[in-house]
A and B are shown apart, each in its own frame.
Chain A
Amino acid sequence: MRRSFRIPDLGGAEAYILHRPHPTVAAIERQLKVIGIRTIEAWPDLPPAATAADFVFFDADLGHDEQFPWAAGQSPMPLIALIGSEAPGRVEWALSQNADAHLLKPVGNAGVYSALLIARNAFEARKALAAEVADLRQRVGERRSIVRAVGILIARGTSEDRAYDQLRHLAMTWQVSMEDAAARIVSWSEEEDVTQSNRLT
């Protein structure tokens, strides 16, 4: 995915830094201030209000899952890992949080701005991909409804090809997807069955 950064719209954003008080926090804060981003320090846990933040920087050295008000890897905003120890276990844990970018400690005079842009880009790409996967999964699941709806139409005395055309036509008339049209036919047919069985009793 290509994303244009345009004129940066980072001004007025809010970032949490989940790190114990440390010169690294001050260095990040200074860089964020120049960019026009408000900083909130948090340690040892992120408060629930952090869910509304635009960015979260988190310590990869002393971090653990329970510090976050969301399940591991489910952050609603871009995350930037602050890595001191490059031990593979710590890097692995930072990745399990779905860190979108990282900064190596100690943080000096630069690096925050590019980390923000990279993290935002990666986060947006990840979000778009997840939405697409969810959509495709749902469609695959709904293929069953189409098969059943076509079966119902065939049972009413039409050929398979015509049943399929009929379903497509209904979807167009109702202005919904084939899957949704099929789901309606299936649910109506079930209601009919219930009514009929009620009559029989």
Chain B
Amino acid sequence: MRQRFEIGILFSRSGGYVLVSDACRAGAMAAIADINADPDFGIELVPVERDPGGSTDRYAPLCEDIFRSSSARHVVGCVTSWSRKEVIPVLEKHGATLWYGCPYEGYEASDHVFYTHACPNQHLVPLLGFAVPRFGARGYLVGSNYIWGWEMNRVARELLRDAGGEALGERCLALGDEDVSRLIQEIEALRPSFVLNNLIGPSSYAFLKAMAELGRIDPAFRPEVCPVLSCNLTECETSRLDGAADGQISAGPYFARPAERLGWPASGTSRSATSFEAATYMSVRMLAEGIRATGRADPDASAFVGRPVASPFGMVEIDPVTRHTALPVIIGRMQGSDVEALDVTSRILPDPYLTRYDRAQTFPRPALKVVMS
């Protein structure tokens, strides 16, 4: 009989960002199913699952509960940065590790977390580097009222200044708030080159629908003129928006159709539907490899870092210094549940503190033209 190892699963099954947490959970569960269905893999994973129900205050106690009631010392989970920051003290107390598979705002490198999705130098910086020469450098920034919205908007403001432009306005909405009328009025009045959307969940859906409506009334706000840019929008949400996000632009390490066209490896027997699925699928695969190699439920970091592995993102590896992942970047245009790749970079090393950010490289100046008088 194969040896069984428990691993924690901590995703909300309800609440405002349930589409994203369901996608994350699906990736983790698919990887567990693939491993358990493979008699040659040698070990079996047993998920120990808890559901915080979209309530940030429930993450830490439920994470604690996983460690108290099972032998699991690795947990795959969390969607928001707020919930991740809540569980880190619990991880420290138990010498445990979180596999975090969502894009986030950077400025963190905990010894108790592996970050398997993108940080700003892998989403926001290349996204603005792509958008500014095409649409202009006068952005309007919207975000949800917590660390993701605040920090992403702050970095975007600085990037726009470096690009010779500016943030024309910035508004944050409370989590779950769907009243976007004021944002839309301001955008209509200010006529920015683009809108950067750092909203999450229902606020983001309401905003995308209202922008689509605005574009129908006034062609100056159609996506090909004034696009909505996102760093967290994927197929798991656009497929539910009845085309409201069509033509809008999103940056991520993965989109399903482009990955297929680029020939990136499938996730076991199927292909991950979103980057969230791909990141958690990869996390569980890496975790399982480490457990198998060491024969322990709590392998330390050396079992994972600096080892290139085949993943839905292609070959990737966790950086030993930052514990973030070297990832590809796709700038995609959303179309229903499909995505068209506008730009692909095969691999960007993680830089969560943006210490290697180079303004001249991100926003190269166009060659000066000699004006003849």
Contacts and interface: CB of A to CB of B under 8 A. Distances in A.
Contacts of B355: 8, 10-12, 35-37
B290 interface: no
Interface string A14-54: 00000000000000001101111100000000000000000
Interface string B324-364: 00000000000000000000000000011111110100000
A17 B14 CA distance: 48
A6 interface: yes
A109 B354 contact: no
A7 interface: yes
Given A11-B355, A34-B321, A34-B353, A109 B92 contact: yes
Nearest to A114: B107
A36 B356 contact: yes
Contacts of B107: 113
A108 interface: yes
A132 to B, nearest CB: 27
B270 to A, nearest CB: 35
Interface in B149-168: 155, 158-159, 162
Contacts of A11: 353, 355-357
A31 B355 CA distance: 13
B159 A7 contact: yes
Interface residues of B, number: 22
A7 B92 contact: no
Contacts of A35: 353, 355
Given A7-B162, A35-B355, A109-B88, 15 more contacts: A6-B158, A7-B159, A7-B354, A8-B353, A8-B355, A10-B353, A10-B355, A11-B357, A31-B109, A33-B321, A36-B355, A37-B355, A109-B110, A113-B107, A113-B353
Contacts of A10: 353, 355
Interface of A: 4, 6-8, 10-12, 30-31, 33-37, 108-110, 113
A109 B111 contact: yes
Contacts of A37: 355
A124 B340 CA distance: 48
Contacts of A110: 108, 110
Interface in B23-60: none
Contacts of A36: 351, 353, 355-356
Contacts of A31: 109
B322 interface: yes
B327 to A, nearest CB: 17
Given A33-B321, A34-B321, A7 B109 contact: no
Q: Which 4 A-B pairs have the closest CB atoms?
A: A11-B355, A36-B355, A34-B109, A35-B353
Given A33-B321, A34-B322, A35-B353, A7 B155 contact: yes
Contacts of A34: 109, 321-322, 352-353
A20 to B, nearest CB: 23
B112 interface: yes
Contacts of B351: 36
A79 B92 CA distance: 28
Nearest to A108: B92
Interface in B79-131: 88, 92, 107-112
Contacts of A7: 155, 158-159, 162, 354, 357, 359
B108 to A, nearest CB: 8
B212 to A, nearest CB: 32
A102 B155 CA distance: 26
Given A33-B321, A34-B321, A34-B322, A8 B354 contact: yes
A22 B158 CA distance: 38
A33 B353 CA distance: 11
A50 B151 CA distance: 34
A31 B359 CA distance: 24
Contacts of A8: 353-355
Nearest to B354: A7
A36 B319 CA distance: 13
A35 B350 CA distance: 12
B120 to A, nearest CB: 10
A168 to B, nearest CB: 41
Contacts of B356: 11, 36
Nearest to B356: A11
Nearest to B155: A7
Contacts of B155: 7
Contacts of B359: 7
15 contacts: A7-B359, A8-B354, A10-B353, A11-B353, A11-B355, A30-B111, A33-B321, A34-B321, A34-B322, A34-B352, A35-B353, A35-B355, A37-B355, A109-B112, A110-B108
Contacts of B354: 7-8
A113 B355 CA distance: 12
In the complex, which of the residues B112, B322, B352, B355 has the most CB atoms of chain A within 10 Å of its own CB atom?
Answer: B355
A89 B321 CA distance: 37
Nearest to A13: B355
